[in-house]
Amino acid sequence: MSRGTVNRLLLGVVGLALLAAGVLVLAGGLDLYGRLGVDPPSWWPLTSPDQPVVSGRSRTRWVAESWWWPVVIAGLAVVVAGIAWWLLAQLRRTGPTTVVLPTPETPGLRLRLRTKALEEAVESDAVVLPEVERVGVRLVRDRRHPRLRAAVRMTPGGDPAALAEHFETGPRSGARASLGLPELPADLRIRVVASRPEVTRRRHRHKRPRVA
Amino acid sequence: MSSREGAAEEAPGPPGPAPVKVRRPRAPRTTAATVVATVLLVVAGGLLYDVIAVRTGHQARQWRADLADELATRHLDDPAVLIGAGVGAVLGGWLLWLALAPGLRRWLPLRPHGDTAAAIDRAGVAALLTDRAAELPGVEHLRVRVGRRRVRIALAGPADPASVQRRLREELAAVTLARPLRLDVRMAGRRRRAGPSPEDTAAPVGGGAG
């Protein structure tokens, strides 16, 4: 599972728990059951506005049991360890450190390429494309199914469709072919800087139209 | 991933080409996950520390004693409890939204070029349109707002809005967005249009395009 999937799953779980708890307390506190004439089942928690948030019965139900505190401590420890792992996963640099290259001629050879080298090669190929001002390339996904992610700053007034076509036929196809990979898909994120300074100077009579 | 086949260009609508189905990129939600994980780690870690401290014969910390006391005595119709529950429910709904919504609203996907899935940011589209409009005659002042479904342009000057719209529609079509944007051009400030003069240019209004 990718990091994004894990993040969305856990955010969903936390959000659902918060939402359910909040709605339960609100429904009980505002006496929605009584007003709407709904009769919740007997095990339904928090039904009366006059009851405390945590009742005495639920506080003392298991405290006397010998297994209660070990279970609480073990459960909390597991939760803390899991959250710590989740947090560390956010701080890690994503993407593989190496890419596995296919070696059909020599079956015994395991050839791997450093991700950084590939990123720099694609970057230097892409930065010389027309209308490109700046480019940054990252490799994402796993080392067997790598995917390029390029962020490009285009010159003002450039043609994004032509830029995408140039990137597809140039750096992306070149990298895929020279590495011998069956496929190397790419994401291209194009940004455009707002305005040309020389245009502003030339048409100083007019107020420079601005992106607002 | 290669959505090269796209959607066949069947029956192009009257304005511009038909939308192409592309896989919408999804945000990894790293920031939200970092914040939520940090908060949960502090809460769960503090609780674990205190439970162990009490089990090993120490006093419970004041915050835990207070919290247990409040939870045991405050009733459900207490305003503090209701406000807390409301905040919790809203926060939970927001996190749920973050989990489900694709995000990356500033990026507009382009038509696919082979195995390259390109996207341009909305402020970039606004910059392209602004640069193009600045070259048109009679455009003194304009404000471009690029939404995710349509572009709104407010124009001031003696220019003909219909011709400006035509030229900018060409420029917008050249971007080749997978899902073409509607383009609305309207005149801003009829007062300025009545008596155009070089000095009569109000400062461009600031705002967010992305």
Average pLDDT over residues B170-194: 80
Q: Write out chain A residues lying below 8 Å of B92, CB-based.
A: 14-22
Q: Any CB–CB contact under 8 A between B2 and chain A?
A: yes
Q: For residue B160, give how far its alpha carbon lies from the nearest alpha carbon of chain A (Å).
A: 17
Average pLDDT over residues A96-101: 88
A13 or A48, higher pLDDT: A13
B residues 92..131 contacting A (CB < 8 A): 92-100, 107, 110-111, 113-121, 123-128, 130-131
B95 or B206, higher pLDDT: B95
Test B38 with A186 for CB contact under 8 angstroms.
no
pLDDT at B189: 63
CB B113 within 8 A of CB A168: yes
A25 or A95, higher pLDDT: A25
Nearest residue in chain B measured CA to CA from A146: B1
Residue with tokens 């505002």: A30
CB nearest to A191's CB, from B110, B121, B201:
B121
> What's the pLDDT band for A207 if we cut at 50, 70, 90?
very low
Q: Write out chain B residues lying below 8 Å of A67, CB-based.
A: none
- The mean pLDDT of chain B is 82
pLDDT at A198: 37
Greatest mean pLDDT among A25-29, A47-51, B89-93 lies in B89-93
pLDDT at A144: 82
pLDDT at B208: 39
pLDDT at B210: 37
Q: Is A108 in a helix, a strand, or coil? A: coil
ipTM (interface pTM): 0.79
pLDDT at B15: 52
Q: Write out chain B residues lying below 8 Å of A8, CB-based.
A: 26, 29, 98-100
pTM: 0.77
Test B174 with A8 for CB contact under 8 angstroms.
no
Q: For residue B16, give how far its alpha carbon lies from the nearest alpha carbon of chain A (Å).
A: 16
Average pLDDT over residues B22-37: 90
